[in-house]
Structure 1
């Protein structure tokens, strides 16, 4: 799990705590922070007995901007390799809030093709694939992500979640910017679904506390994976 700009590896603590309490589950949580000098620090715990442990990855430089997103994707690659060597997992799900989804996308296109590990599903919330531009004017970032889309693993399922304040944006990110992810993922992966949430806590910074989102997060990001694992 990767947070958005100006957030750290503790960003999802409340969400995971809510899921554990609401569904009477006991998911472990490991936090990873990558420094600008490529050094990695850990906190929390990762239980090898946990069928769905959470790992959150934050960056010392968590600032906004396309140039920083590229750097953060490179730091993600360093963290991912270290996690793989320490815990020897062979499949995983990925989650990103806001720019976290951009970091994941850039990582998948530029680094992940060298990894033998399988991605089951991806979920993002309020990811601005076209930044704050309209759908008609593609930013350089969106053009770059479209041009490298063929590197994204084809077997994954992706749920892109958008919130709306006035049926146009979530107070920060335009709905059209979130939906621009279709130019990258549609017809490239097994399943791509855009979900639009409205009502209470549907604004950008509040989405992780939205009851509709928490239901979707548990159903499609956790429960389905647990059922798949138990059937193997």
Structure 2
């Protein structure tokens, strides 16, 4: 066998082995992305609350540096099929130009995670601009031949930035609407809005969150809008909000059991 044929043969074997691992993998992580100016520790309280009940979920954190290199913290338990992975960015500044960089960096992180842990299926949660990063990734960097996302939950995501009227779409909303046909069709999307006074959550206008319907509605399998109100519904508190925890348990982890009336309204 020639040297070229030998290496070609080994390459085919390695590719077949990788595809086999991906096909047979039962690993399905929930991957979190924080909002602007927040780091990989942003979801510590949320994850702690989710881990108050069984089963416990292992935690891995990934920081993407501006040169595309990755720093890993924590580890995944080999017996844990539903681990939590947090992806954050060294450059976590606000602004649409930076969000575009971030969903390109997310693509780097996702490819590296798949190479390391051999998963294909996953779910996603994004707080604030983290939801914009996920949306940009799903329209631009997501490859359905490589990944299969089943559920995406956004928390207080300003799909129309600070604009309160859908008749005045911002650049980001226009571009996401323009590319909405690229979204995965089998995706279930849950858009959570917080409200102090039914106009905003102290930072993001409710109508900006609701503008997500112009992106996802009739493009994905399921789109649900949910409004959470009360003392803990402020923008910065949404990830720790008990109603949000219940929604994650119910829709993503499928472990929630209702014990009474919840303080949120949903609209499909």
The two structures have a TM-score, normalised by structure 1, of: 0.94
Counterpart of 2:248 in 1: which secondary structure?
Answer: helix
**Over aligned residue pairs, what C-alpha RMSD do you find?**
1.3
Q: CA deviation at 1:90?
A: 1.6
Name 1:53's counterpart in structure 2.
Answer: 83
Counterpart of 2:199 in 1: which secondary structure?
Answer: coil
Paired residue for 1:90, among 120, 132, 147? 120
Q: CA deviation at 1:45?
A: 1.1
Provide the rounded CA distance (Å) in 2 between the counterparts of 1:24 and 1:200. Answer: 27
Contact 1:113 1:151 in 2 (8 A): no
Q: CA deviation at 1:224?
A: 6.0
Paired residue for 2:208, among 173, 177, 188? 177
| TM superposition outliers: structure 1 runs of 4+ over 6 Å | none
1:195 and 2:229 are equivalent in the alignment:
no
Counterpart of 1:105 in 2: which secondary structure?
Answer: helix
Provide the rounded CA distance (Å) in 2 between the counterparts of 1:124 and 1:201. Answer: 17
Provide the rounded CA distance (Å) in 2 between the counterparts of 1:47 and 1:142. Answer: 39
Counterpart of 2:250 in 1: which secondary structure?
Answer: helix
Q: CA deviation at 1:10?
A: 1.1
Provide the rounded CA distance (Å) in 2 between the counterparts of 1:109 and 1:120. Answer: 15
1:207 and 2:238 are equivalent in the alignment:
yes
Q: Which moved more, 1:157-166 or 1:210-219?
A: 210-219
Provide the rounded CA distance (Å) in 2 between the counterparts of 1:18 and 1:80. Answer: 25
Provide the rounded CA distance (Å) in 2 between the counterparts of 1:224 and 1:122. Answer: 17
Paired residue for 2:187, among 148, 156, 159? 156
The two structures have a TM-score, normalised by structure 2, of: 0.81
Counterpart of 2:177 in 1: which secondary structure?
Answer: helix
Q: Which string of whole-angstrom CA distances, capped at 9 and with x for unpartnered residues, describes residues 10-32 of structure 1? A: 111111111111x2331000000
Mind listing any 5+ residue stretches in structure 1 that lack a counterpart?
Answer: 226-232
Name 2:26's counterpart in structure 1.
Answer: none
1:27 and 2:49 are equivalent in the alignment:
no
Q: CA deviation at 1:85?
A: 0.4
* Residue pairs, 1:1-232, within 5 angstroms: 1-21=32-52, 23-113=53-143, 115-134=145-164, 135-223=166-254
Give the number of aligned pairs. 224
Provide the rounded CA distance (Å) in 2 between the counterparts of 1:114 and 1:213. Answer: 28
Q: CA deviation at 1:178?
A: 0.3
Counterpart of 2:254 in 1: which secondary structure?
Answer: helix
Name 1:228's counterpart in structure 2.
Answer: none
Contact 1:130 1:180 in 2 (8 A): yes
Name 1:230's counterpart in structure 2.
Answer: none
Counterpart of 1:145 in 2: which secondary structure?
Answer: helix
